[in-house]
């Protein structure tokens, strides 16, 4: 799926279930990178077997959509949607940038395409996320786009902020 953001041009979203074998390994390599891994609930390395099995299971799971994101002909990261709830019109999302690419503005691109996908493509009203309280750069990015903190929880002994953006508060 190719989408256009006025500020950034064309962005291509490739559903994980449509990735080539090489792209699946690229996603795993990004996910297992220490700079990405440290912000995940599962902070140990994920095996190739477990990763491929997870992607295969996505084919039959309508509550999840995971995408590799390409911008300016580069793989810039991933956006992930889970707990898609058509009745509550809500979804939980996550994103991470490609740790092997330093293209400026990638965080904004991933954020904007996630918001657009949730509200305009999925037709939902509430976009939720969780982020470690120590991940100040990402928290500030979410706040810039209008996300507000709705609570906290403890995961693996660390404080996690729960945040959300309602469609009517979209910036």
Residue written as token pair 């309280």: 133
Residue written as token pair 């996910």: 31
The per-residue pLDDT for 111 is 94
∠ CA(95), CA(98), CA(101), 5° rounding? Answer: 145
pLDDT in tens, the chain (171 residues): 776 666 667 899 999 999 999 999 999 999 999 888 888 877 788 999 999 999 999 999 999 999 999 988 899 999 999 999 999 999 999 999 999 998 888 999 999 999 999 999 999 999 999 999 999 999 999 999 999 999 999 998 899 999 999 999 887
Q: Using a CB cutoff of 8 Å and minimum separation of 24, what contacts does 82-90 make? A: 84/122, 84/124, 85/124, 86/124, 88/126, 89/123, 89/124, 89/125, 89/126, 90/124, 90/125, 90/126, 90/127, 90/128
């Amino acid at each position: 799926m190719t989408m256009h953001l006025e500020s950034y041009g064309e962005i291509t979203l490739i559903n994980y279930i449509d990735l080539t074998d090489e792209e699946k390994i690229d996603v795993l390599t990004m996910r297992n990178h220490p700079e990405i891994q440290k912000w995940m609930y599962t902070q140990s390395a994920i095996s190739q077997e477990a990763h491929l099995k997870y992607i295969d299971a996505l084919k039959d799971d309508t509550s999840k959509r995971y995408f590799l994101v390409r911008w300016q002909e580069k793989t810039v990261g991933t956006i992930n949607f889970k707990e898609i709830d058509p009745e509550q019109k809500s979804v939980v999302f996550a994103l991470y940038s490609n740790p092997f690419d330093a293209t400026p503005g990638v965080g904004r691109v991933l954020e904007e395409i996630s918001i657009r996908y949730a509200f305009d493509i999925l037709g939902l009203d509430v976009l939720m996320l969780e982020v470690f309280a120590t991940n100040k750069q990402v928290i500030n990015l979410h706040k810039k786009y209008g996300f507000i903190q709705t609570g906290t929880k403890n995961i693996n002994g660390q404080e996690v902020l729960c945040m959300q953006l309602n469609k009517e508060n979209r910036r």
